[in-house]
């Protein structure tokens, strides 16, 4: 009887923390992106990573631990994560992208190549900021500290607001 009450108390005491740990996931899926963009257009941030990349793991941990960055990712941009070794087909901007093997157990996803087209240096993790029309506006290869990623996103969002305000002003004149 006492052990049952103790177990119930422990379980009830831990439930809020279990929910909090799951709350930090701010990434959405590629499948959910088109509907989300149709309802509320906003920029897209894609983080390209691999399972074997230590810096990629550090990057994601930093993103999850930064409350300011997590808030920005959930509110002002759509955040997507793309495993460069993902073997499933991804539908993105009305096109299908597939895994391209380049060895017996290695390869890269075509979407990574399409996003990185024109990049001379591709190193994981990779970051791509796209506008709501799927056009790559900015790319970066390598680890970004959460505060640097936050500053980069804020600068981009500020520039985007200025640009759209200028376009509205031009339309009025």
Give me the residue spans of the domains in the chain. 30-166
Task: Say yes or no to pLDDT of 46 above 70.
Answer: yes
Lowest mean pLDDT among 63-72, 83-92, 164-173: 164-173
Q: Which residue has the higher pLDDT, 122 or 124?
A: 124
Share of the chain above pLDDT 70, in %: 79
Spelled out in words, what is the top-level CATH class assigned to the domain 30-166? Answer: alpha beta
Share of the chain above pLDDT 90, in %: 63
The pairing of beta strand 99-101 with beta strand 107-109: antiparallel
Task: Say yes or no to pLDDT of 2 above 50.
Answer: yes
Looking at residue 15, its pLDDT comes to 40
Across all residues in the chain, what is the average pLDDT? 83
Looking at residue 41, its pLDDT comes to 94
Local confidence band at 12 (pLDDT 50, 70, 90 cut-offs): very low
């Amino acid at each position: 009887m006492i052990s049952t009450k103790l177990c119930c108390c422990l379980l009830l005491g831990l439930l809020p923390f279990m929910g909090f740990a799951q709350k930090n996931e701010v990434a959405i899926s590629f499948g959910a992106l088109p509907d989300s963009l149709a309802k509320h257009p906003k920029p897209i941030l894609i983080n390209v990573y691999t399972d074997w990349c230590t810096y990629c793991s550090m990057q994601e941990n930093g993103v999850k631990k930064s409350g300011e960055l997590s808030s920005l990712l959930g509110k002002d941009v759509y955040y997507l994560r793309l495993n460069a070794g993902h073997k499933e087909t991804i539908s993105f901007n009305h096109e299908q992208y597939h895994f391209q093997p380049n060895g017996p157990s290695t390869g890269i996803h075509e979407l990574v190549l399409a996003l990185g087209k024109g990049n001379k240096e591709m190193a994981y993790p990779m970051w791509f900021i796209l506008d709501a029309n799927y056009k790559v506006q900015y790319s970066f290869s390598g680890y970004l500290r959460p505060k640097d990623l936050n500053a980069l996103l804020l600068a981009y969002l500020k520039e985007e607001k200025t640009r759209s305000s200028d376009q509205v002003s031009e339309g009025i004149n």
